[in-house]
Structure 1
Amino acid sequence: MPAASAIKVMVVDDQTSMRAMIRRTLQDIGFRDIRDKASAVEAFDSVRQDRVHLIISDYNMPDMDGLQFLQAVRGDAVIGKTVFIMLTGSSEKAVVQRAAELGVNNYVVKPFAPAALKEKIERVFGELN
């Protein structure tokens, strides 16, 4: 049973309000080491230099979308095994399917309840304490 406070998280979303909401939700669950970036390009460089255990990324972003970001992470020898949870406002079957093919660990449709995000994280890490 891992302690949420020991898990390093990177939140990636181009919307400031969404990053803040996710950060608050994670803090309420018990996470303490939370970083965030407004773009997948910035996040990719950041997590390569300072690794995290969990990436929570939006799908719909300019420059590099969540699927491209996931593909870049999975293709990288250093960070390829990092747990990746995709957030999206769409439950479009093609996007969900492509994310699964690329190796996403879990998927959350926005808007979501804090309990839903916690449950998705626990499916990957086990029950948090």
Structure 2
Amino acid sequence: MPAASAIKVMVVDDQASMRAMIRRALQDFGFKDVRDKPSGPEALAAVRADRVHLIISDFNMPEMDGIQLLEQVRGDPVIGKTVFIMLTGSSDREIVQKAAALGVNNYLVKPFAPAVLKEKIERVFGELT
């Protein structure tokens, strides 16, 4: 049971309002180190420079979508094992299957309640203290 305060998180979403909502929810759960970036390439560079334990990424983004970001993370020998939760506004089976094949740790369909986000994180890390 890790303390949420010990887990470093990167939130990746091209919508500032969604990043702010997720950040607020994470802080309410006790997370202290929450970073965010508006694009896949920026998040990837930041995570490579300063590793995190959890990436929460939107699927639908310009430049690099969530699947491409997941592919880059999984293909990197240093950050490849980082926990990755994908957010999407679509429950498109193809996206879900592709993410699963690439080793996504969990999946969340927008809109979602903060309690559901917490549940998805706890399924990977165990109960947050």
Check if 1:21 corresponds to 2:21: yes
CA distance in 2 between partners of 1:40 and 1:31 (Å): 22
Cα shift readout 1:2-59 (whole Å, capped 9, x = no counterpart)? 0000000000000000000000010111101000000000000000010000000000
Normalised by the length of structure 2, the TM-score is 0.99
The match for 2:72 is 72
Q: Structure 2 matches for 1:13-92, cutoff 5 A?
A: 13-92=13-92
- Partner SS state of residue 85, structure 1: strand
Tell me the CA shift for residue 123 of structure 1. Answer: 0.3
Identity rate of aligned residues, in percent? Answer: 78
CA distance in 1 between partners of 2:50 and 2:27 (Å): 20
CA distance in 2 between partners of 1:28 and 1:92 (Å): 30
- Partner SS state of residue 61, structure 2: coil
CA distance in 1 between partners of 2:30 and 2:89 (Å): 25
CA distance in 2 between partners of 1:112 and 1:30 (Å): 19
Which aligned segments of 4 or more residues in structure 1 are displaced greater than 4 angstroms? Answer: none
CA distance in 2 between partners of 1:109 and 1:72 (Å): 22
Runs of 5+ in structure 1 lacking a partner?
A: none
Runs of 5+ in structure 2 lacking a partner?
A: none
Residue identity in the other structure for 1:70: L
Tell me the CA shift for residue 64 of structure 1. Answer: 0.2
| Residues paired across the two proteins, number | 129
The match for 1:104 is 104
Normalised by the length of structure 1, the TM-score is 0.99
Residue identity in the other structure for 2:102: L
CA distance in 2 between partners of 1:55 and 1:105 (Å): 10
CA distance in 2 between partners of 1:35 and 1:114 (Å): 17
